Amino acid sequence: MGGNQTLVRDSGRAAADSDFYRTFFNSVTRDLFGTVGVNPDVEFCSTTVGRASGAVPSGLSGRGLAATAVREVLADLPFGAAMQNQDAAVHRISAEIGRYFSTGRQSGAPESIELIEPVFYRGLNAFSVGRIIGDGSITPLVIAFSNSPEGVRVDAVMMSRAEVGSLFGYARSYFHVDLPVVSAAITLLRSFMRASPSTSCIPCSARQARQDRALLRPAAAPGGLHRQLRSRSGERGLVMIVFTLPSHDLVFKVIRDRFGAPKTTSRADVMERYQFVFRHDRAGRLVDAQEFKRLRLPRDRFMPDLPASC
C-alpha cells in the first residue's frame, strides 16, 4: 500500500465486541427455540456492559497526504479498477482536503490519512471512512462514491463534523460493512459526532443489547422506580401503546392486537409497513426501531396505574 503505512491490530477483538456477539447469539436462539420471555439456559442474560474498546479500528491504515498517497487509496479500493477517471478523482480529493485546511476551518496542517480498510456501503453508494491527522488535530474524512454507466466516481469529500454526523445519524438507514472490530469503529465515529442521541451510529445488534439490559434489570434493584415502565404522556394511540423508562433514553412501543374505530387496518398490516421501512431509507419515515418478539415482562416492571391508562 506504500507510503507511511501502519496497521493496527486489536488483540481484544472478542472482548471488545462481546455485547454484539451475545446479542446475535440470543437472536438466533430465540428464533430457534421459540423463546417467550427469558430463558437463561439458552441465552445470555447478564445486565452488565461488556468492555468497550478505546483503540482505533483494526485495519486502519495510514498514508502520507500527497497526491500519490491519495492515488494509492483509490487503487486499493475493491472497485478501484472501475474508477471513471482516476486522475480527476485524485485531483478532486487532494484539492478539497487542501481547500478545507487553507480556509482555517481546521487548525494545523494535514500530515497523513488514516482509513478504515473495509468500505461502508448503503444503497447504491460506497463510503471510505477515516480521518486526517494534522499538527495537533484530527479531522474526519469520508469519501463518497457512486456507480454510473461510465464507472465509479467521487460524489463528495466530507470533512466537517456536521456532514459526517448527518451521514451516520440515527435518521439514516444502516450501513453494510464487514468490520474486524465493531466497537473500535464506533469509538472512532463517535469522536466525530457532535451532541447527538447516545444511540447514534451504534449497530442494531449493539443497540438491542442496551435495550435487553434495560428490560432485564429488576425493578427491585437500586433506583427501581426509574426502571418501571410508564405510559408516555400525550394522546392515547389507537394502533400502539407507548411506554417510557425514566432511566432509558428510548421508548418502547407495543402494537395492539385489535384497533378501535376509525382504524380499519390490522396488526399484520402495521408490521408489513414497518418491514417496508426497514428495507428502505428511513429518512422522513422513521427515526429508528428494533423489533422484539415474544417478550414477557413481570407486572412489577410497570407502574401500578399503567394497565388502567392503556
Report pLDDT for 90: 92
Report pLDDT for 226: 52
Is the predicted pLDDT of residue 56 greater than 90, yes or no? no
Identify whether the C-beta of residue 139 lies closer than 8 Å to the C-beta of residue 153: no
The single-letter code of the amino acid at 134 is: G
Indicate the average pLDDT of the chain: 74
Are residue 238 and residue 89 in the same domain, yes or no?
Answer: no
Boundary of a domain, candidates 192, 216, 240: 216
Are residue 210 and residue 262 in the same domain, yes or no?
Answer: no
Are residue 241 and residue 300 in the same domain, yes or no?
Answer: yes
Are residue 120 and residue 46 in the same domain, yes or no?
Answer: yes
* Alpha helix ranges (H) inside the chain: 13-16, 18-33, 67-75, 86-102, 161-167, 182-190, 204-216, 267-278, 306-309
- The candidate with the shortest Cα–Cα distance to 253, out of 290, 287, 225, 216, is 290
Report pLDDT for 208: 52
Q: How does residue 166 score in pLDDT terms, banded at 50, 70 and 90?
A: confident
Report pLDDT for 3: 38
The strand pair at 60-64 and 120-122 is best described as unpaired
Is the predicted pLDDT of residue 15 greater than 70, yes or no? no
Q: What is the mean pLDDT of residues 248-273?
A: 83
Report pLDDT for 2: 37
Identify whether the C-beta of residue 230 lies closer than 8 Å to the C-beta of residue 219: no
Boundary of a domain, candidates 216, 235, 264: 216
Q: How far apart are CA 199 and CA 290, in angstroms?
A: 12
- The candidate with the shortest Cα–Cα distance to 165, out of 197, 138, 143, 133, is 197
Q: What is the mean pLDDT of residues 264-291?
A: 75
Are residue 118 and residue 175 in the same domain, yes or no?
Answer: yes
Are residue 258 and residue 169 in the same domain, yes or no?
Answer: no
Boundary of a domain, candidates 216, 231, 258: 216
CA angle 108, 113, 114 (to 5 degrees): 125
pTM above 0.85, yes or no: no
Is the predicted pLDDT of residue 271 greater than 80, yes or no? yes
Preceding amide of 262 cis, omega within 30: yes
Report pLDDT for 61: 53
Q: How does residue 180 score in pLDDT terms, banded at 50, 70 and 90?
A: confident
Are residue 207 and residue 75 in the same domain, yes or no?
Answer: yes
Are residue 256 and residue 135 in the same domain, yes or no?
Answer: no
Are residue 138 and residue 84 in the same domain, yes or no?
Answer: yes
Is the predicted pLDDT of residue 291 greater than 70, yes or no? yes
Is the predicted pLDDT of residue 80 greater than 70, yes or no? yes
Tell how far CA 224 is from the center of its chain.
Answer: 29
Are residue 27 and residue 170 in the same domain, yes or no?
Answer: yes
Identify the domain containing residue 246 by its residue range.
218-309
Phi-psi region at 205: left, alpha or beta (left = phi > 0; alpha = psi -120 to 50): alpha
CA angle 173, 82, 281 (to 5 degrees): 10
Are residue 89 and residue 154 in the same domain, yes or no?
Answer: yes
Which residues are catalytically annotated?
288
Are residue 145 and residue 230 in the same domain, yes or no?
Answer: no
Please give the tally of structural domains in the chain. Answer: 2
